[in-house]
A and B are shown apart, each in its own frame.
Chain A
């Protein structure tokens, strides 16, 4: 496990084996997602889980481990290797009363399904004047930082957030992974559920529950007065690390986990930025026309008279995702985030 991975979560215990008999146990994000799928399958017989290798193998990340054995081949099953077919048939199943939860094995392997997602899954409610609802969840392991070879580390969120009709969510912690996935499966809209694969093995000591912030709200992961640091998915833990480091340099950083990339929680984000007067957005995806551009534009429109400095972005470079030996130069780091914070036109500084 990488150092970054072990730092995820808001209430990580010192040792993963310190399992108190009565209290909550540490749980990885992968295990929390597995529990969310199991609880959804148990709670609603319309729920079906399918995709490539999700049955006998339990998924390449083991997120569906044990589900086929427990719920049977009619509820959890392997499909032919064809992503458009997986999403296309999920649409047909939802039309006939099921609640499909499908897995795209990796971010870049979801692209063959793009037409089914954008032209059909996202639009059929609209195309039929609301008569045809598609409660489909597409789980997509996304992002880099795991040493994956090409096509295994894309941050594809902006393709989906630019498509009206989709909800796009991504958890930053194991507890929220459970909550968000249960909420996504219960949602009447199609949901793109982006799982930050570099955090699959991060642990958090928490009680897994649906209770808490609803599916469309951002949450403040760490309160602060000086800067609003905005991240999501795999960058939440990085942002929290950066906030710790910034505290040592005298900046009191507020960290917000966006959670719902679409629709965007303007209220929570704008309230924070109006209060702090400064904001930095961090994501792994390329900066150009990336998700952070929308966040910066919205917050500038809504908070202009409260801003002390331009809103800055810390993102991946505008390059195809690099090979494993070079990815550390590409990914946003705590240092880069601290540099951005330092450039926010502080009184007495020349930045």
Chain B
């Protein structure tokens, strides 16, 4: 018998974490269907108020125009690569608008529209894809973590961030975006488990677009749904229509409120589709049929919300026209900013490795600068 150690009978988690309410619905929850009518399976989701619906629509229209502009800039060689958000507009806009100012977003490389919606300026949000620097924005200014490119590694960051908020008694929730492929990574599993054990205020939003580059969901998982995995962690989970911006907003908002109230994490799987290829470097015709893409185009998140708003008298031709003009101004602005040359300073390579450059890095910087001076002197007589 150990002195000072309490004798405990083993308590199985099922005695403290009832399974009720952890499983998602079998069919995705929906507030607005693909024709713009009220959805038949709203579950417990709260319908957002009209001003939120209008803002969801506005941000999606702006995001779609931004996305088209970024794709065009990539074809012109202004961006090294661009993973399009087209088709996933409702997920990215709906989720970000559901956050409060003090909350944090942990995005991936496909979430540029989420960044823009959060207020990150285009040139800062595109710095990674432009090849200018890895992360071009100040995470603390916008409360947006650097975009995750290895996938799923942002999930434990979000959990740690949220747990720190609890420990420091700060009212903050972390929203982490992952894709269907990333749910197979160990980091997703570890993050879900840590979040549940710690009751960390985190919302996990899985944008299930059906493919991890080319690998379809059936080769990714045998689970009934990705949301169904939540019960294994003791996390309440929702399966929603990811092309319904109102449903995404409502589900994420509910997760944020639960987290803020001390209820712990929420797992949301949003069913959506990537209309474009993985990136401009990908050929999607090698792994999916054009009929499949056409079918998803009919479920477009913007047209369905527009139909709903017009039917409800929340949008007219004048307002739509003003919004189209605003989107064109945004695209012009992005074009102008991206057509400026990248200002890259080789000396900066050595600046941010440690808080202060080490003696060895200072020597290496001096060597590089001397090399560049010599090159410049060699080139000078010719000009």
Spell out A's residues near B (CB within 8 Å). 48, 56, 74, 79-80, 82, 84-85, 87-98, 100, 112, 115-116, 119-120, 123-133, 164-165, 167, 187-189, 216, 263-264, 266-267
Contacts and interface: CB of A to CB of B under 8 A. Distances in A.
Contact of B167 (A48, A91, A132, A189): A48
B229 to A, nearest CB: 16
A132 B141 CA distance: 11
B156 A92 contact: yes
B168 A92 contact: no
B131 interface: no
Most chain-A Cβ atoms within 10 A of its Cβ — which of B145, B160, B163, B167? B160
Interface string B4-45: 010000000000000000000000000000000000000000
B351 A130 contact: yes
Interface string B164-189: 11011010101000000000001100
A88 B160 contact: yes
Nearest to A190: B354
A95 B354 contact: no
Given A79-B194, A132-B146, A88 B139 contact: no
Given A128-B352, A264-B360, 10 more contacts: A74-B167, A80-B190, A84-B187, A91-B157, A92-B174, A116-B156, A124-B146, A187-B355, A263-B358, A263-B360
B162 A127 contact: no
B42 to A, nearest CB: 33
A89 B139 contact: no
Nearest to B6: A56
9 contacts: A85-B187, A88-B156, A88-B187, A93-B160, A124-B146, A125-B355, A167-B354, A189-B354, A266-B360
Nearest to B200: A89
A132 B153 contact: no
A93 B163 contact: yes
B146 A189 contact: no
A85 B193 contact: yes
B359 interface: yes
Contacts of B167: 48, 74, 93, 98
B16 to A, nearest CB: 16
Given A80-B193, A91-B156, A125 B161 contact: no
A92 B135 contact: no
B185 to A, nearest CB: 10
A130 B163 contact: no
Range class of the B interface residue count: 35 or more
Interface string B345-383: 000100111110011100000000000000000000000
Contacts of A56: 5
Given A92-B157, A93-B161, A115 B150 contact: yes
B168 A98 contact: yes
A69 B348 CA distance: 46
B314 interface: no
A266 B190 contact: no
A260 to B, nearest CB: 10
Nearest to A69: B4
A80 B194 contact: yes
A150 B191 CA distance: 28
B193 to A, nearest CB: 5
A97 B168 contact: yes
Contacts of A80: 190, 193-194, 197
Given A84-B190, A129-B133, A263-B359, A95 B156 contact: no
A178 B353 CA distance: 26
Contacts of B162: 92
B353 A125 contact: yes
Contacts of A131: 138-140
B146 A128 contact: yes
Contacts of A97: 164, 168
Contacts of B155: 88
Contacts of B150: 115, 119
Contacts of A263: 354, 358-360
Given A88-B153, A126-B352, A96 B161 contact: yes
A6 B170 CA distance: 48
Given A80-B197, A89-B194, A125-B354, A95 B138 contact: no
Given A119-B153, A128-B139, A96 B355 contact: no
A92 B154 CA distance: 9
Contacts of A48: 167
Contacts of A125: 352-355
A82 B160 contact: no
A126 B197 CA distance: 32
B157 to A, nearest CB: 4
Most chain-A Cβ atoms within 10 A of its Cβ — which of B138, B156, B197, B348? B156
Contact of A95 (B133, B160, B194, B352): B160
